[in-house]
Amino acid sequence: MSEPGTTPGPLAGVRVVELAGIGPGPFAVMMLADMGAEVIRVDRVTGPGADYTPNPVIERGRRSIALDLKAAAGVAVLLDLVETADVLVESYRPGVAERLGIGPDECARRNPRLVYGRLSAWGQDGPWAQVVGHDINYIGLTGALHAIGRAGERPVPPLNLVGDFGGGAASLAFGVVCALWESRTSGQGQVVDANVLESTAGLMGLIHGLRAQGRWSTERGANLLDTGAPFYDVYTCADGRWMAFGAIEERFFRNALVVLGLGDRDDLLGAHKVPEHWPALRAALTTAFASRDRDAWTAAFAGVESCVTPVLDLDEAARHEHAVARRGYAPIPGSDMAQAAPAPRFSRSATPLPAAAPVPGADTASILGELGRDADEVARLAADGVVGLSPA
């Protein structure tokens, strides 16, 4: 895992209240927890729905209190918790928090310095604010999905990395930290309106810029970075596994040709600069890579400046020598699988692996105690179904 620093994490001392959600919301909060923020997740009293399976990675680093936010007494507990917090994060459909009586206005009355982070699909307003969707729908409306895939084939969903996580979650986490910084001088909190649609559009900045320069076509699979160029693509090896070939620059390209046994092909030297020569170059690269297994090519390219590397699966990635040397992965508690360690790292601030994901309601009693509720009141709230206590 990350190297321990000499001081607490950079967000140590920041308390975040998270209204439990799925996908990008928990991932954004994981990012905050990884940086040392204290996170209290508010789960449902009834527990997750039948279609919910706790994620041991993106829900790490929290404590959990189970509240019925449809009950006035549950809302009262939440607002007491808000009073102690620096940040609240919710990823409900627009308007839901307000209907529950826990929207920005209600929370600001209890804590004017609160940063209220909101993550939605399309934003808090606009004609599509209430439209349902998932990552594939959001990125479909930004042009990102259209741009990903090979020529003549359907667009390929890039998991949900581009919209939910690289877009919405990262935007929310960044926005929260920006608002926290601003509050240091203003003394006031504010609402952070992050959404997947606009955040994904922002990720397309490089592509928009290339189009403005006349260097990017809307035709899929015809550009530098979308498999249109044979020197930026994935090639199949003799064992059916793959190598990633990214030799864009002249010297890297020449080095790669030498390793592939193509260094004496005068017709290929400089071919990466001439689109008319790309079909012949692709054919030559395809044939060369198919002649040896992936690991043999990995060994052949080791130490050569060529931008050619193996395509690893998830298990192999955690075992790669560079990941091992930098302690980039750590075990998932209760599993033999790995999870990525917190990133980025800091010269002084520690970023240790956060605690395991909690069972919903695991910390209800202790959190209520911190809010001044005695044991009798905790028992009464539990009996009334306002709070949930996890089994011992």
Q: Which amino acid is at 109?
A: R
How many percent of the chain have pLDDT more than 90?
91
pLDDT class of 5 with cuts at 50, 70, 90: low
Task: Determine the pLDDT at residue 107.
Answer: 98
Task: Give me the active site residues, please.
Answer: 134, 164
Q: Please give the share of the chain, as a percent, with pLDDT higher than 70.
A: 96
CATH architecture of 233-325: 2-Layer Sandwich (3.30)
pLDDT in tens, 176-235: 999 999 999 999 999 999 999 999 999 999 999 999 999 999 999 999 999 999 999 999
d(CA 15, CA 176): 12
- Model confidence at 19, in pLDDT bands (50, 70, 90)? very high
Is CATH 3.20.20.80 correct for 15-203+330-388? no
Residue 2's pLDDT is: 52
pLDDT digits (tens, 9 = 90+) for 324-354: 999 999 999 888 999 999 999 999 999 998 8
Instruction: Give the pLDDT confidence of 62-77 residue by residue, as tens digits.
Output: 999 999 999 999 999 9
Please determine whether the domains at 15-203+330-388 and 233-325 fall in the same fold group of CATH.
no
Domain coordinates of the chain in residue numbers? 15-203+330-388, 233-325
* pLDDT tens digits for range 93-103: 999 999 999 99
Contact partners, residue 85, CB within 8 Å, separation at least 6? 15, 16, 17, 40, 111, 114
Which pLDDT does position 271 carry in this prediction?
86
Q: What is the pLDDT of residue 11?
A: 97
**Chain segment 36-51, per-residue pLDDT in tens:** 999 999 999 986 655 5
Q: Can you give the pLDDT at residue 234?
A: 98
Mean pLDDT of all residues belonging to the chain: 95
Q: What is the model's pTM?
A: 0.94
The answer, yes or no, to whether residue 33 has pLDDT greater than 70, is yes
pLDDT tens, 134-163? Answer: 999 999 999 999 999 999 999 999 999 999
Q: What is the radius of gyration, based on Cα positions, of the chain?
A: 25
Q: Is the pLDDT of residue 277 over 80?
A: yes
pLDDT recorded at residue 54: 75
pLDDT at 4 over 80: no
Provide mean pLDDT across the span 273-285.
Answer: 94
Model pLDDT, residue 211: 96
pLDDT for res 166 = 97
Residue 362 has pLDDT above 90, yes or no: yes
163 Cβ partners below 8 Å, 6+ apart? 135, 136, 138, 139, 142, 144, 196, 199, 200
Chain-centroid distance of CA 16 in Å reads: 18
d(CA 207, CA 201): 10
